[in-house]
Structure 1
Amino acid sequence: MITTETTADLYRRLAAALTERVDAVPADRWENPSPCDGWTTRDVLAHIVDTQTQMIGVVGLSVPDGPAVATDPAAAWRHTRDAVQAILDDPATAGLEYDGHFGRTDLASTFRTFYCFDLVVHGWDIARAAGLDDTIPDRDLDLLDAVIAQLGESLHTDGVCGPALDTPADADRPTRILAALRRRA
């Protein structure tokens, strides 16, 4: 099990942690290269905003137009976060079903695994790129471990993480987990 938190509560907690990191990014570091090849800090946040907005669209819902990541990254994130949180807080919208990559599922299940996972991983990317504290709390490492196991080899395909990196035998847990996600701690 990933966590005993509801999907709405898990998203709320992880989104709050990402918000702290986003709000701490100095204006001159949004164009810094990130651990994601070819992406800046701003590109990573744009990816989070865009993919969450697109996922909401899969079930026929939408995130209202709001600030753009290009001009106000923190406001764009808060706008998307709040819209997604309202959807996840409502059991009727959170439970909307669709045919996903792994079969029939619902919006809450997808956010619980993939998009909450993304908040942790890309939160680390943003912190690392901006020179902020990039520590991942133990319970979030637990979440990453669980989702890595659940996604299996599909995690290592093009467009997701790609092949895992090698780590020394004595590498600590964050280093091993990040290496599985093609990131160097």
Structure 2
Amino acid sequence: MNTVADRYRVRADAFESKVAAVEAGQWENRSPGEEWTAKDVVGHIVDMHGAMVRPFGRDLGPAPSLSDDPLGAFQAARADVEAILTDPALAATEHETPAGKMTAEQHIDQVVSADMVLHGWDLARATGQDDTIDPEEVARMWPGAQAIPEQMRIPGAFGPGIVVFGPEVKVPEDAPLQDRLLGLLGRDPNA
């Protein structure tokens, strides 16, 4: 059993359920901590899926437009990434990333898979859904969040218009771990 593929699938299922629950009139709602709407959050996740297939000389396959069908756009991008994760040769292919050389499955796990957790919170907040992050995910992400290099908080450090993490939002030391994680990731859990 491939734990990276399984973890991706669980995270994608959770994100997809949030996308599916967005009501038609909520797509222009602002997300917290970003200059994005709910639709922009989904667009970012779709774009990040595209970044995962580019090292293979691929683009995302045919898909509904984000404007017309955000759920369909996400589902199509998800299928493209799952095709890499379920192909042992592709999953094990190494390539250069902004964080150094790693396999495709490591890159997917560390970037787009983890991104769906945080941006799932953004989408839930923007659209009035339950924004509770699975406590196992919070615990898994906590050590890495504590070690975010300051360079990753500098807008444009990885290219024009790219902001990896915003400035840390201070939260009380006795706040729930989810709130402390969100603060380290540049989110105000009380916004």
**Counterpart selection for 1:20 from 4, 11, 17:** 17
Matched, 1:164 2:159: no
Label 1:7 to 1:91 Cα distance change in 2 as closer, same or farther (>3 A).
same
Q: Distance in 2 between matches of 1:50 and 1:168?
A: 34
Q: Which residue pairs with 1:8 in the alignment?
A: 5
More off after superposition, 16-25 vs 160-169: 160-169
Q: Please tell me the residue identity of whatever aligns with 1:180.
A: L
Q: Please tell me the residue identity of whatever aligns with 1:179.
A: G
Matched, 1:43 2:40: yes
Q: Distance in 2 between matches of 1:113 and 1:59?
A: 18
Q: Which residue pairs with 1:178 in the alignment?
A: 182
Q: Distance in 2 between matches of 1:97 and 1:169?
A: 39
Q: Which residue pairs with 1:73 in the alignment?
A: 70
Label 1:52 to 1:151 Cα distance change in 2 as closer, same or farther (>3 A).
farther
Label 1:110 to 1:154 Cα distance change in 2 as closer, same or farther (>3 A).
farther
Q: By how many angstroms is 1:102 displaced?
A: 2.5
TM-score by length of 2: 0.88
Native 8 Å contact 2:52 2:81 kept in 1: no
Q: By how many angstroms is 1:147 displaced?
A: 3.3
More off after superposition, 167-176 vs 20-29: 167-176
Indicate the RMSD between aligned Cα atoms, in angstroms: 1.7
Q: Please tell me the residue identity of whatever aligns with 2:108.
A: F
**Counterpart selection for 2:103 from 97, 103, 106:** 106
Uncovered stretches (5+) of structure 1, i.e. residues with no partner:
none
Q: By how many angstroms is 1:15 displaced?
A: 0.2
Native 8 Å contact 1:8 1:85 kept in 2: yes
Label 1:143 to 1:68 Cα distance change in 2 as closer, same or farther (>3 A).
farther
Q: By how many angstroms is 1:161 displaced?
A: 1.2
Q: Please tell me the residue identity of whatever aligns with 1:160.
A: V
More off after superposition, 21-30 vs 97-106: 97-106
Uncovered stretches (5+) of structure 2, i.e. residues with no partner:
156-162
TM-score by length of 1: 0.91
Percentage identity across aligned positions? 36
Q: Please tell me the residue identity of whatever aligns with 1:169.
A: E
Native 8 Å contact 1:59 1:97 kept in 2: no
Native 8 Å contact 2:33 2:188 kept in 1: no
Native 8 Å contact 1:8 1:88 kept in 2: yes
Native 8 Å contact 1:117 1:143 kept in 2: no
**Counterpart selection for 1:92 from 81, 84, 89:** 89
Q: Distance in 2 between matches of 1:139 and 1:59?
A: 32
Native 8 Å contact 1:114 1:147 kept in 2: no
Q: Which has the higher contact order (CA 8 A, sep 6+)?
A: 1
